[in-house]
């Protein structure tokens, strides 16, 4: 039997070839319908797996070889960057993990393979973004660049800084345990498959004119245990799957799509909710809220099996027997059709997030004027 070193080398070569082929075939995948994004996620997952394997093999690989392997992984990541940089007219929001104890600005040079570092996509010059992800590292922290105790890492600074140069980052959530996206304007954010490890709980706060799509990691990966939305204006939130409650506060002129166990809305105005809900959705201090069932496009085998109670709404501010004036059922002719979900919301060539929001009537040419 070949020695482990050699065996690993051959395995590595085979994997690299496979991933290279996958990267090459990305261009032929359709950008709409999330097909290409799934392809990209698959490549990222492959690179990530390979990095882990290299690390796991460090016991029998000499450090020189280790470096060579790291180089190869870096090259793969760069290849992915270059390839994806060529498509996507749409800006994709991207996170970049940063070491907690880095005090100075540190442009990314050496990718930490374990974090399967971000690739640089196209720019979104006007995007103002500050974000935060709570990162806790894994117990088996082989490289040792991260502190071994759980720590929260703040991305605000870094994202603000890179915002100046117009860079867009690909979120890598391989070590994140929570998703916390906040304070963005005019961004189209699509969480990749890798984010599914961070969907234990999530929050979206202070977003204006944004599109956030979390379908991929929460339906094919792991659903959120709970999701909180706060202060969201003129946005489209495709929240995907929540195995517990979705708690919404202060949302206006927006559209939500979600499959959740509970939906709790507070201080919302002029919001359309496309919903699968296993219990009675509730509203409190809300007005002009309209409900519709989850679109067929987002319904799949991972949608919760419980009966959909999307129209059994309880209004805590209307405890009379008569119907509450604060909510209604969204008329069928006013509902966004599957074709639009499939072809526009998932990203359409040449359309900015504002263009998409306009097509959904969340924005008008003159500005916000989405009306029920």
Partner 1 sequence: MLAILRKARLKDKELRVLMLGLDNAGKTTIVKKIMNEDVNTVSPTLGFIIKTIEFEGYQLNIWDVGGQKTLRSYWRNYFEKTDALIWVVDATDRLRIDDCRKELHELLQEERLLGATLLIFANKTDVQGCMSEAEIMQGLQLKAIRSHQWHVLRCSAMTGENLKEGLAWVVEDAKLRLFLY
Ligand X SMILES: Nc1nc2c(ncn2[C@@H]2O[C@H](COP(=O)(O)OP(=O)(O)OP(=O)(O)O)[C@@H](O)[C@H]2O)c(=O)[nH]1
Instruction: Find which of ligand X, partner 1, none residue 174 binds, CB within 5 to 8 Å per kind.
Output: none
Indicate which of ligand X, partner 1, none lies near residue 314 (CB less than 5 to 8 Å, by partner kind): partner 1
Among 261, 268, 295, 345, binds ligand X (CB under 6 A): 261
* Residue closer to ligand X (CB basis): 123 or 304: 304
Among residue numbers 301 through 330, which ones bind ligand X (CB under 6 A)? none
* Residue 315 to residues 133, 258, 278, 291, 335, Cα–Cα distance (Å): 34, 19, 17, 13, 22
CB of 319 to ligand X, least distance (A): 15
| Residue whose token pair is 């590292």 | 137
Kindly indicate which of the ranges 74-82, 102-110, 242-250, 345-353 contains the residues binding partner 1, using the contact rule CB under 8 A.
Answer: 242-250
User: What does the DSSP 8-state code read for residue 333?
Assistant: G
Which is nearest to 265 in space by CA: 243, 295, 241, 289?
A: 289
Considering beta carbons, is residue 118 or 202 the nearer one to partner 1? 202
| Residue 228 touches which of ligand X, partner 1, none (Cβ within 5-8 Å per kind) | partner 1
* Residue 220 DSSP symbol: I
For the CB of residue 12, give the shortest distance to ligand X in the complex, in Å: 39
Minimum gap (Å) between residue 205 Cβ and partner 1: 7
Q: Pattern 98-117, binding to ligand X, x per CB under 6 A? A: --------------------
Binding residues for partner 1 restricted to 171-190, rule: CB under 8 A: 177-178
Report the partner that residue 203 touches, choosing among ligand X, partner 1, none (CB closer than 5 to 8 A by kind). partner 1
Please write down the long-range contacts of 143-146, taking CB distance under 8 Å and 24 or more positions apart.
143/55, 143/112, 143/114, 145/99, 145/112, 146/99, 146/100, 146/175
Give CA–CA dist 339/19, Å, rounded: 32
Which residue's C-beta sits nearest to ligand X? Answer: 245
The residues, ordered by sequence, that sit 6+ positions from 210 with a Cβ below 8 Å of its Cβ are: 184, 185, 186, 187, 188, 189, 232, 235, 236, 353
Among 20, 81, 83, 262, indicate the residue that binds ligand X (CB under 6 A): 262
Q: Kindly calculate the radius of gyration of the chain based on its CA atoms and give it in whole angstroms.
A: 22
What is the Cα–Cα distance from 16 to 1, expressed in whole angstroms? 23
Q: Which helix (H) or strand (E) holds 81?
A: helix 63-86
Q: Is 225 in the site for ligand X (CB under 6 A)?
A: yes
Residues numbered 127-156 forming contacts with partner 1, rule: CB under 8 A:
134, 136
CB 12 within 8 A of CB 69: yes
Neighbours of 56 (CB within 10 A): 12
Tell me how far apart the alpha carbons of residues 273 and 39 are, in angstroms, rounded to a whole number: 30
Q: Among residue numbers 301 through 360, which ones bind partner 1 (CB under 8 A)?
A: 304, 306-307, 314, 316-317, 319
Residue count (the chain): 372
Decide: helix, strand or coil at residue 179.
strand
- For residue 85, state whether it binds partner 1 (rule: CB under 8 A): no
- Take residue 59 and report the two structure tokens written for it: 């016991």
Tell me whether residue 133 or residue 263 sits nearer to ligand X (CB atom).
263
- Among positions 227-246, residues that touch ligand X (CB under 6 A) are 244-245
Which C-beta is closer to ligand X: that of 45 or that of 282? Answer: 282
Least CB distance to ligand X at residue 330 (A): 24
> What does the binding site for ligand X look like in residue numbers (CB under 6 A)?
225, 244-245, 261-262
Which residues of the chain form contacts with partner 1 (CB under 8 A)? 134, 136, 177-178, 200-201, 203, 205, 225-226, 228, 230, 244-245, 247, 261-262, 264, 266, 278-280, 282, 284-285, 304, 306-307, 314, 316-317, 319
């Amino acid at each position: 039997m070949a020695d482990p070193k050699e065996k690993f080398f051959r395995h590595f070569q085979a994997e690299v070839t496979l991933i290279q082929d996958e990267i090459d075939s990305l261009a032929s995948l359709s950008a709409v319908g999330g097909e290409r994004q799934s392809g990209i996620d698959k490549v990222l997952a492959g690179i990530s797996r390979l990095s882990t394997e290299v690390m796991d093999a460090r016991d029998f690989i000499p450090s020189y070889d280790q470096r060579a392997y790291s180089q190869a992984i870096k090259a793969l990541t760069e290849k992915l960057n270059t390839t994806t940089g060529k498509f996507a007219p749409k800006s994709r929001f991207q996170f970049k993990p940063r070491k907690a104890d880095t005090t100075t600005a540190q442009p990314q040079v050496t990718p930490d393979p374990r974090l399967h570092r971000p690739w640089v996509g196209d720019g979104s010059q006007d995007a103002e973004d500050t974000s935060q992800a709570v990162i806790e590292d894994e117990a088996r922290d082989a490289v040792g660049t991260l502190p071994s105790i759980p720590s929260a890492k703040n991305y605000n600074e870094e994202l603000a800084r890179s915002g100046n140069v117009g860079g867009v980052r690909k979120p890598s959530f391989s070590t994140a345990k929570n998703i916390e996206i906040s304070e963005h304007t005019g961004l189209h954010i699509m969480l990749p498959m890798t984010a599914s490890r961070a969907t234990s709980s999530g929050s979206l706060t202070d977003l204006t004119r944004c599109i956030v799509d979390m379908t991929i990691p929460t339906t094919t990966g792991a659903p959120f245990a709970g999701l909180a939305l706060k202060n969201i204006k003129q946005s489209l939130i495709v929240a995907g799957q929540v195995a517990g409650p979705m708690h919404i506060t202060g949302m206006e002129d927006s559209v939500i799509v979600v499959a959740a166990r509970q939906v709790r809305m507070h201080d919302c105005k002029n919001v359309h909710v496309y919903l699968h809900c296993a219990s009675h959705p509730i509203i409190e201090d809300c007005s002009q809220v309209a409900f519709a069932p989850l679109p067929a496009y987002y319904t799949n085998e991972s949608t919760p099996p419980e009966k959909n109670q999307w129209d059994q709404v309880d209004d805590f501010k209307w405890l009379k027997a008569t119907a509450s004036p604060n909510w209604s059922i969204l008329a069928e002719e006013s509902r966004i059709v599957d074709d639009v979900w499939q072809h526009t919301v998932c990203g359409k060539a040449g359309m900015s997030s504002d263009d998409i929001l306009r097509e959904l009537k969340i924005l008008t040419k003159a500005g916000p004027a989405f009306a029920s």
